[in-house]
Structure 1
């Protein structure tokens, strides 16, 4: 039998602290308290119908809704469920939901606070900008039930007329997700955005972007001249010259860095292919890691969070948000393009394709791919040093900002 929940009391509730992710604490009889990352505490009711678990029902926020009242409502909803009926409509009436959240703006704000507020900073900012700039001016005052596909098409066409088809598609997707949530809360019955086929709004962006040498130098100069934190600047520079994936960089641990032998050993569990990967560090990369060691307040992570008491790495959105917040001078660029850029230029320099693929932690098919992790070690060490020197040369062109003499005096 499932373990019975230990009933909550106000003392226990007040002692509950937010964590990196929202979490639920059971009180019993289907009643849960959800603690959001912001510290907000919300009563939820969990139930099943016809043997299938249903979405959580929101009861209200603690302490506005006290423990006794939440338990009373949970008993009420249990009685409704026993009749084979969903308690969502009753819960909405209990909260005055149906009266207060009927327009696009009103419900979108509720959706934003319920589902978007705990997402990454960049995701929140993009969603907020789309709501305020394009959705609310057009249909914010409209009743949810009155919005049709034509209304959304007008919004998308207006955005496309600005020369931003991808932004139009993003806006359609945000409206679609908001209406999906409205339907799950029984505030809406149809999703008008479903009728707009994505490929007729915009085609997917091609992921073939390669930065030119000038763009590479310009971007790194802009990064070093910006006001972003020094570790973030070094992280972005290291992403360029080590050719690793962003997740592999931000979760790097000091135990993986062998300063004596100039090797960064990334364990299999952190690699996309579940195979240990060695990066033969250039002089520049070693110097950057040495500087990061001096800057770090963490005994474990190379890029620890700057705030909070937990020893954990920066979030996956940190570097994206840092780049997005500045004027890089380079158009249509994402961080993952660094790997493609390195591969393209190294191939153009006539370097070994197999060594480049190994440096990128790509699999090599056929008999040539059956090697141990030291295979191509000398070539990989050579091309990573060549690439770091090449990147340095692009930064030096027209630079007017102090970056750091990484590896310049090394033998």
Structure 2
């Protein structure tokens, strides 16, 4: 930089030039220049050399930036040049970065990332994206800091699991922002979910319904569709999502077989159906009245909203169970649809079904090397286990005492 010249501009001169309205460009020395355009726009520019080239940097408008402030700012920029940085290049880079709001970031994430996630993940993420948009959507992505993330987590009063999902969504959208170079680093870095909302509560232990509770459940005072749904969940051990999304195209009643398509929860699997289970499916088919779905939506509003023929909602079976327990007060412990899987698993072991067969009936992957190399579906073995289990269920339904010999491992 050239040696600093004496300051030659004064505020009274600047105001006089502005009143005159004649375009001027007057130096204050050492590269700092006051300019007035023909349109009456007064501004400060700094001219300097960097890398063997001449550069010009606009510092701001006058009188927004006073003469003294312009001199101080120019001095700070000269220090940057002396340290080897180009302040003009820095400003250009900052201007090239998109200054998005969080709401704009969410829109881009929903367009480019969300469709690639599993359907159930999309639903839970969309719920929390709405929460984020409501809480911090107007903020600039650049301005979001750790305390804003903490405030977002604290303002949403939901359970620990849903808060964890919200936390995952926050990390996902700001990772997306960092990937687009809207920010240098995610504001989620260093934030601890446990420090904000506490440690995860102890996971609820799964129930094994007793013989008496199975009797009460399988004779429950529910609608026919709900009762048959609960019986099917208990008899087949499928996940609730696999039943409420099931289509008749995958149910082969003449072959006593139900095909479960592959999903994120497990590979495709064919479930052998015991004779009484086939009859339960036939009853549901009569009740479905031509729907493509085993459990068609009850409410016309849901069908209209989703474009016509569709299945029941994901909470329908759970809500039917809760309604029955709350209003009829049966002699049974509070349980969820997933507890029916643990009931089948535990009782199968009690009935002598080998552990690996009971695991495969639940579509669980066998552990270790065996799970990698053993590709046999054990269809016949699973059919025998499920028929034994269904015999036990029908015995409980009738209130009879179980007196059959447990299954024994073949040599």
TM-score w.r.t. structure 2 length? 0.48
TM-score w.r.t. structure 1 length? 0.48
